Structure 1
Amino acid sequence: MLRFIFLLALCASTVTRTMGSHGDATAPERMTRNGLPGTATHMGKRGELRVAYLGGSITAAEGWRPLTTTFLRELLPDSAITEIAAGVPGTGSDLGVCRLGADVLRHRPDLLFVEFAVNDANTAPADIERTMEGIVRQTWRANPATDICFVYTVSTPGWPDVQAGNYPASVRAMETVAAHYGIPTVQLGFEVARRVADKGMLFKGTAQDGDRAFSVDGVHPTPAGHRVYADVLRRALPEFLKTTASRPPLPPSLRADNWEHAEQRVLSREMFRGEWKAVPLDDENLRGATKALLPPTWRADKAGDAIEFDFTGTHLGLLGIAAPDSGWFTVTVDGNAPVTDTFFDAYVTPTFCRARKWFYPQPLPPGKHRVRVELSDRAVDKAAIKQAAGKTLADPELYAQQRLALSALLLIDTAP
């Protein structure tokens, strides 16, 4: 049935196709589907248009996002366009659906771009469908008139598929959701592949290659790479705005276990057990974090310090800080065996810290749960974590502390 819906949408949509390596027509660059009817009503009218961008570091960068906002101002000169920047580096749609309310929906967007194809590259398709559907349903529950557009960027893992004119696995999962809800989508990577095939651009170059380099790391576009992305959107958006018919009613869920009811809940003092201290935004262990979107952060530095709380739901997560001082923490749910983990990873340096999500490894039975999160007395072997990734711990003294910094709870309820 889902395949039929997808094929029907494919036939009914305005598409632009890319060419595979053998000249055969393959996946479309864009799918108009139901377009952007709410935004189209602003054509020739005065008023405010609030445009939100939810994604990872590619969206957080001063690249395709502000370039697209500039183009929208050209396209809709009578509208006062407000940009809502909600990109957080290194995060996927699982955190995105949890922080959607706090970072996007409270600003009442009229148009929402969603960019998670790169950071969801290693995520199971079923999980992507759950979280992306959650973003759609949560958005339209808040305001059915909000337009949504999925934007697909490209990085090294998905590059072979894009070069061949195909969608990477993460994009195929997102297309399942988009087809079900009539959401327009655009694959920005096909234009990159075309320019690389024409020898006009290098997918992964160096700083010395200048505007010929799409990226220098195979992930993050250079300014020239971002301009390519923006050029594709300049082609797509006018087509999406031709659809002025009202959006059909919200269809039944694609997946009964989607994450529509996901939230990011800030910590409160009554949760604290032991000595927790507020972390100021200029703290050295927040260097590199996206502070504009970081909830109030609290830190414990004594083993045994904990937070305790109750929640009703089926999935549990934490938003914490990956920093040189990150230690082990244990999570105990309903008195069951504790689960131990750390926010520290090989990417952490004294000048690069960031918010990281962590999810309890298995779903919970529907209903109310009691949770304890505690700083462990074990020391993280940070040198070993670095070494496993081919990196070295330059100055061990800078990593000696073993603390726990938490910013929010990630709570999801998929029960009927």
Structure 2
Amino acid sequence: MISTQVTTAQSSLHFSEFDQRAAGGSSLTVAFLGGSLTWGAQATDPLKTSYRALVSNHLRERYPQAKFTFVDAAIGGTGSQLGVFRLQRDVLDYQPDLVFLDFTVNDGAYALPTDDRLSSYEAIIRQLLRSGTPVIQVILAMKADVQLEPSSRPLDALHKEIGAAYQLPLADVLAQMRQAVVVEGRATPDELWDLPYDQTHPGDAGYALYAECVWATYLEAVQEELVCHLPETMLHPDHYMQLDRFRLCGLDILPAGWSRGVPHRNAIAFDFVCSRWMDDVAIARAVEGVVPEALKLEFQGQSVLLFGEGTQKSGRYIVRIDGGEAKEYNMYCKDGNMRHVQIIAQGLKPGITHTLEITPKLADGEELRLESVCVAGGAVLALAE
């Protein structure tokens, strides 16, 4: 069951064509895919003062006759390995005409990534371009990046290499902010990141500089008539081009102690509201000392992650792949409801059938809430015996 498919091309990879259609009053959809810096955490009002909102305003002002739909597809604290599984539902289903992509910070900018993580990032770009959607690559900054002696960010160069291969316009916000802060002295880091306890998310002044760079990149792409390019082959392994976001509530029968439910409609932050990002969830609950049975699936694939919802009632679970080492994970969220994303396997042998066993480890009143098992390089095949 391959549940993630690339939408038929609706748009064009030519930025000048987007410009012409917008100037002519067309109906256009623009999506922003990324993490909390795309959503606008710590902005006074993410709907008005985030970089996403400011760039949306620039588009409305430049093209007053166009009819824009803006899609917020940003979940804080998540990277491209979940993003690639969200791409169809949260972006491509809207048939976007332009996408701004930010995952460099959340993919671990300060360390060398695994090939798996580079593959998921590249696969997002490749799927978008295959659908006919032009992409602007956005690389954002944190407070540590605009100091006199910033930390090294090795992932930036690797993401830029991917973007260059696909000829994406690059909004290098980090480089521009260093220029503005360190060289020109337009602002200090403390003025841009004005909450001492948050070194990641800027205030409105920081988001305004983000937007300045991103908007200038868009205008340059239009002026230079840039065209995104789809290489014949990927730079990195291609298993994230074959995906299965397997919804557990699609099973005919759930194990004993599991039931179908809906995700919560409130959370500790708006980008964590799980009803925005999930369909029905499979819920395992421990009642009067009876712990739900293990959920066992057969699948083929190379990488696996779980996508679900953590709450103040959540407990622990144990995962085994092919009956091997037991790994224990905790879904508990002391502050309230939010997304739960757990990578549980990478580098599995392709082309053979594996087993996945998820065993609840719950005290009375505790629960697990899982929406999907996400497999790259294959698919979930069936319930295992």
Call closer, same or farther: CA 1:248–1:233 in 2, change over 3 Å: closer
**1:411 aligned partner:** 375
Deviation at 1:276, TM superposition (A): 2.3
Unaligned runs of 5+ in 1: 1-33, 206-211, 380-399
Deviation at 1:199, TM superposition (A): 4.6
Deviation at 1:193, TM superposition (A): 2.8
**1:98 aligned partner:** 85
Matches within 5 A, 1:348-387: 348-351=333-336, 353-367=337-351, 368-377=353-362
**1:170 aligned partner:** 155
- Are positions 1:313 and 2:301 aligned together? yes
Contact preservation (8 Å) 1:316, 1:360: yes
Task: Out of 89-98 and 119-128, give the one that drifted further.
Answer: 119-128
1:287-310: per-residue Cα shift (whole Å, max 9, x none)?
443232233223212224333333
Deviation at 1:318, TM superposition (A): 0.3
- Are positions 1:147 and 2:134 aligned together? yes
**2:127 aligned partner:** 138
Identity of paired residues, percent?
Answer: 23
SS at match of 1:326: coil
Q: Which amino acid aligns with 2:37?
A: I
Q: Which amino acid aligns with 2:216?
A: R
Deviation at 1:354, TM superposition (A): 1.5
Residue 187 of structure 1: which of 158, 162, 172 is its match?
Answer: 172
SS at match of 1:135: helix
SS at match of 1:182: coil
Instruction: Write the distance in 2 (CA, Å) between the matches of 1:233 and 1:283.
Output: 32
Deviation at 1:104, TM superposition (A): 0.7
Call closer, same or farther: CA 1:275–1:92 in 2, change over 3 Å: same
SS at match of 2:214: helix
Contact preservation (8 Å) 2:135, 2:228: no
Contact preservation (8 Å) 1:165, 1:190: no
1:294-342: per-residue Cα shift (whole Å, max 9, x none)?
3322321222433333333221110122333232211233333433222
Call closer, same or farther: CA 1:42–1:165 in 2, change over 3 Å: farther
Contact preservation (8 Å) 2:314, 2:367: yes
1:73-120: per-residue Cα shift (whole Å, max 9, x none)?
222333211111100011011111111111111111111111112112
Instruction: Write the distance in 2 (CA, Å) between the matches of 1:245 and 1:225.
Output: 28
Deviation at 1:271, TM superposition (A): 5.3
Instruction: Write the distance in 2 (CA, Å) between the matches of 1:412 and 1:49.
Output: 31
**1:201 aligned partner:** 187
SS at match of 1:270: coil
Instruction: Write the distance in 1 (CA, Å) between the matches of 2:145 and 2:365.
Output: 38
SS at match of 1:226: helix
Call closer, same or farther: CA 1:185–1:371 in 2, change over 3 Å: same
**2:258 aligned partner:** 276
Unaligned runs of 5+ in 2: 1-12, 41-45, 380-385
Instruction: Write the distance in 1 (CA, Å) between the matches of 2:165 and 2:149.
Output: 25
Deviation at 1:40, TM superposition (A): 3.2
**1:323 aligned partner:** 311
Instruction: Write the distance in 2 (CA, Å) between the matches of 1:154 and 1:38.
Output: 30
Q: Which amino acid aligns with 1:226?
A: Y
Contact preservation (8 Å) 1:97, 1:263: no
Q: Which amino acid aligns with 1:369?
A: H
Deviation at 1:278, TM superposition (A): 4.1
Instruction: Write the distance in 2 (CA, Å) between the matches of 1:253 and 1:50.
Output: 27
Deviation at 1:224, TM superposition (A): 1.9
Instruction: Write the distance in 2 (CA, Å) between the matches of 1:35 and 1:189.
Output: 26
Call closer, same or farther: CA 1:38–1:148 in 2, change over 3 Å: farther
Instruction: Write the distance in 1 (CA, Å) between the matches of 2:294 and 2:145.
Output: 41
SS at match of 2:234: coil
Q: Which amino acid aligns with 1:223?
A: D
Matches within 5 A, 1:324-343: 324-343=312-331
Call closer, same or farther: CA 1:213–1:184 in 2, change over 3 Å: closer
Q: Which amino acid aligns with 1:113?
A: F
Instruction: Write the distance in 2 (CA, Å) between the matches of 1:177 and 1:339.
Output: 33
Q: Which amino acid aligns with 2:103?
A: F
Q: Which amino acid aligns with 1:404?
A: L
Q: How many residues align?
A: 345
- Are positions 1:295 and 2:279 aligned together? yes
Deviation at 1:246, TM superposition (A): 5.3
Q: Which amino acid aligns with 1:233?
A: V
TM-score by length of 1: 0.74
Contact preservation (8 Å) 1:117, 1:153: yes
- Are positions 1:259 and 2:240 aligned together? yes
**1:58 aligned partner:** 37
SS at match of 2:252: helix
Contact preservation (8 Å) 1:41, 1:244: no
Contact preservation (8 Å) 1:262, 1:412: yes
Q: Which amino acid aligns with 1:78?
A: Q
**1:389 aligned partner:** none
**1:226 aligned partner:** 207
Instruction: Write the distance in 2 (CA, Å) between the matches of 1:146 and 1:231.
Output: 23
**2:216 aligned partner:** 235
Deviation at 1:39, TM superposition (A): 2.0
Instruction: Write the distance in 2 (CA, Å) between the matches of 1:246 and 1:150.
Output: 13
**1:213 aligned partner:** 192
Instruction: Write the distance in 2 (CA, Å) between the matches of 1:401 and 1:149.
Output: 46
Deviation at 1:282, TM superposition (A): 4.5
Call closer, same or farther: CA 1:112–1:103 in 2, change over 3 Å: same
Deviation at 1:37, TM superposition (A): 4.4
Task: Out of 223-232 and 189-198, give the one that drifted further.
Answer: 189-198
Instruction: Write the distance in 2 (CA, Å) between the matches of 1:196 and 1:244.
Output: 30
Instruction: Write the distance in 2 (CA, Å) between the matches of 1:165 and 1:359.
Output: 30
TM-score by length of 2: 0.80
Contact preservation (8 Å) 1:295, 1:408: no
SS at match of 2:240: coil
Call closer, same or farther: CA 1:96–1:365 in 2, change over 3 Å: same
